[in-house]
């Protein structure tokens, strides 16, 4: 696996690959890779000739007091996992290379960034959209895979690609769960065994919401309230939101007569966790 640190070098490499007619698949990450990341890598591999994975803990998407400093990092472990998956190029730039002195350009996706995580992490999606736009210009992928666990992020990126005419196909990757139901996340490492046990209420509540829907409940508020109540009843879990939204636009809906996402966020001990299930969609 080739490791490239300089944005300029990565751009030149991408240009050369394009000249050779190669289809570049891209998986942007912040590292500390787990099985869910690797499933995105496998998807990219199936759909392209050359797979590039980036590892960059992006400072602009963390707010003051968030976990930028303590975000888990394991470059050696990550490298070994990517090698084993047959990844062609690891792009791992430094913050100084991505945001040199004098940096002042940002990308803002106004509407779909509002609500849900946008309300609790001001500036977060601006940081995400900015770094992903930069990464697209550096890696020049034909397609990029984004996990559905960060559901709002996926829609923000889709909107940005549409609005700014990026010639990149955005491919969603399935949310992957541990055996006990918890959504895989690099942040799960923050949880003590007791906190992790409590955190299971998020997936349990989402599964309950999905079950209500599958049994015929189509009132979004009834499902939302059932999910909320279950999470609020768990001591040590501070619910930030539990919402049922249109799966394409994230607009508030009253009746579930089209694909919808039940999305939740909560703080458990030192970790802020998010999770979701999509309902009313053919493939689920």
Per-residue contact flags (x/-) with ligand PAF for residues 153 to 192, judged by CB under 6 A = x---------------------------------------
Choice from 30, 40, 182, 184 touching ligand PAF (CB under 6 A): 30
Edge-to-edge strands, sheet with 169-173: 2-4, 89-91, 50-55, 24-29, 143-147, 169-173
Helix pair angle (220-232, 193-214), 10° resolution: 160
The answer to whether 124 is a known catalytic residue is no
The three state secondary structure string of 16-61 is HHHHCCCCEEEEEECCCCCHHHHHHHHHHHHHCCEEEEEECCCHHH
Only one of the segments 22-30, 91-99, 214-222, 254-262 lies at the binding site for ligand PAF (rule: CB under 6 A); that segment is 22-30
Q: Residue 183 or 212: which CB sits closer to ligand PAF? A: 183
Q: Give dist(CA 64, CA 124) in Å, integer.
A: 11
* 33 lies in the binding site for ligand PAF (CB under 6 A): no
* 28 lies in the binding site for ligand PAF (CB under 6 A): yes
Per-residue contact flags (x/-) with ligand PAF for residues 77 to 116, judged by CB under 6 A = ----------------------------------------
Show the tokens assigned to 6.
């300089």
Q: Give dist(CA 89, CA 171) in Å, integer.
A: 19
- The residues annotated as belonging to the active site are 37
Residues that bind ligand PAF (CB under 6 A): 28-30, 58, 61, 128, 131-132, 150, 153
């Amino acid at each position: 696996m080739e490791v490239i640190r300089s944005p300029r070098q990565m751009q030149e490499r991408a240009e050369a690959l394009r000249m050779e007619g190669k289809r570049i698949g891209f998986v942007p990450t912040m590292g500390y890779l787990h099985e869910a990341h690797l499933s995105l890598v496998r998807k990219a591999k199936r759909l392209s000739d050359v797979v590039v994975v980036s590892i960059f803990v992006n400072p602009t998407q963390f707010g003051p007091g968030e976990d930028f400093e303590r975000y888990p990092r394991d470059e050696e472990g990550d490298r070994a996992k990517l090698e084993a998956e047959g990844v062609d190029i690891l792009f791992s730039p430094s913050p100084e290379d991505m945001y040199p002195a004098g940096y002042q350009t940002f990308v803002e996706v106004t509407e779909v960034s509002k609500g849900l995580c946008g309300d609790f992490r001001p500036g977060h999606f601006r940081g995400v959209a900015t770094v992903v736009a930069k990464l697209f210009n550096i890696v020049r992928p034909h397609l990029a895979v984004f996990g559905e666990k960060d559901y709002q992020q996926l829609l923000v990126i889709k909107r940005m690609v549409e609005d700014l005419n990026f010639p990149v196909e955005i491919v969603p990757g399935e949310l992957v769960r541990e055996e006990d139901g918890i959504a895989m996340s690099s942040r799960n490492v923050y949880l003590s065994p007791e906190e992790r046990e409590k955190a299971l209420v998020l997936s349990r509540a989402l599964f309950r919401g999905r079950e209500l829907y599958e049994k015929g409940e189509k009132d979004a508020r009834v499902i939302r309230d059932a999910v909320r109540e279950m999470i609020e009843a768990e001591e040590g879990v501070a619910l930030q939101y539990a919402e049922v939204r249109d799966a394409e636009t994230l607009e508030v809906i009253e009746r579930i007569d089209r694909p919808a996402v039940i999305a939740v966020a909560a703080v458990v001990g030192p970790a802020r966790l998010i999770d979701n299930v999509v309902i009313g969609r053919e493939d689920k």
